[in-house]
Amino acid sequence: MWRIGCVAMASATALLSWSAVAAPPDISGTWLPVESLSTPWPDPLPLTDSARARYAAFDPDRDEPASFCMPLGTPRNTTSGTSALEVLQASDRVYFVFQPNLLNAETRRVYLGKPLPAADPDRLPTWLGMSSGKWEGQTLAVETIEMEPQAILNGNGLTHSGGLKVRERWHLARDPERGRLLVNDLVLEDADTFSSPVRLKRVFAWAPDARLAEGQCSERLWIDQIWRHRLREHAAARKAGAK
């Protein structure tokens, strides 16, 4: 009996140890971006010829979706802004709540253990895309597809196609000055935009007292957008009539 008891205790101890190692880390809570530890966009960007032309033609008054209460979208909500990120973690999904500006709070839902669906030409893209994730040890690996092409990737007007794929690896780290960190290593792949994959790193510091602010979107911004479109239409009509 003593021998059996020892074996049982050893098995239980091994099981507990395995569970402790296998358990994913707790990344929930609020975090603030740390620009000095993050990696900016590469310069020069590895753009295709068509993407370079679109980049050069960007007009912020006309083409910046955030000016008209549109979301920044994925991955721009992750890689820009100075406001807090809130993470809510469950067993089957992880929520990332961003507020990269005072206009919108954007909530990304990463479903764990559910593969991305097969491509469907009838399915419309979304600003935040479709995300699937899984824990690989202490790292949350996420893949996101089907992001709205109207969204831009940075404040300078970098566009993307409907074929953009974003791969992320979220993990915890420590800094001697800032303490607990949440690190996101990103890889962006889009054959219509980039001649090679683009790699970025976004670092957030633990900020338990940080709070997300209330959004400030209003009908005035929508009316302003409609008015600007109408002015451009009139200008184009006058120009065409002059010819």
Residue 236: inside a domain, yes or no? no
- At 206 the pLDDT is 97
C-beta of residue 129 within 8 angstroms of C-beta of residue 106: no
Q: Is the pLDDT of residue 243 over 70?
A: no
Please give the average per-residue pLDDT across 61-78, as a whole number: 86
Residue 200: exposed, middle, or buried by beta-carbon count in 10 A (0-12, 13-18, 19+)?
buried
pLDDT band at 7 (very low <50, low <70, confident <90, very high): very low
Please write the tens of the pLDDT for every residue from 86-118: 999 999 999 999 986 656 788 999 999 999 988
Task: Compute the Cα dihedral for 72, 73, 76, 77 and give only its sign.
Answer: positive
Residue 36: inside a domain, yes or no? yes
Q: Which domain holds residue 166?
A: 23-215
- At 225 the pLDDT is 66
Residue 10: inside a domain, yes or no? no
- At 211 the pLDDT is 86
Please write the tens of the pLDDT for every residue from 169-223: 999 999 999 999 999 999 999 999 999 999 999 999 999 999 887 766 765 666 6
CATH code where residue 119 lies: 2.40.128.20
Residue 3: inside a domain, yes or no? no
C-beta of residue 172 within 8 angstroms of C-beta of residue 180: yes
- At 16 the pLDDT is 43
CA-CA distances (angstroms) from residue 53 to 92, 181, 191?
42, 38, 15
Residue 115: exposed, middle, or buried by beta-carbon count in 10 A (0-12, 13-18, 19+)?
exposed
Give me the chain's average pLDDT, please: 86
CA-CA distances (angstroms) from residue 226 to 60, 106, 173, 192, 218?
15, 23, 46, 30, 13
User: Helix count (H) and strand count (E) of the chain?
Assistant: 5, 9
CA distance 164 to 107: 19
- At 232 the pLDDT is 75
Residue 18: inside a domain, yes or no? no
- At 77 the pLDDT is 92
C-beta of residue 45 within 8 angstroms of C-beta of residue 54: no
Please write the tens of the pLDDT for every residue from 216-242: 676 566 666 666 777 777 777 887 776
Task: Compute the Cα dihedral for 57, 59, 62, 65 and give only its sign.
Answer: positive
Length of the chain: 243
- Kindly give, in sequence order, each residue whose CB lies less than 8 Å from that of residue 140, ignoring residues fewer than 6 positions away: 24, 27, 94, 110, 133, 134, 168, 169, 170, 171
- At 3 the pLDDT is 54
- At 222 the pLDDT is 61
- Which range, 9-13, 27-31, 104-108, is most confident? 27-31
Residue 200: inside a domain, yes or no? yes
- At 113 the pLDDT is 94
* Number of domains present in the structure of the chain: 1
Residue 223: inside a domain, yes or no? no
Residue 81: exposed, middle, or buried by beta-carbon count in 10 A (0-12, 13-18, 19+)?
middle
Residue 52: inside a domain, yes or no? yes
Please write the tens of the pLDDT for every residue from 111-165: 999 999 888 888 999 999 999 999 999 999 999 999 999 999 998 999 999 999 9
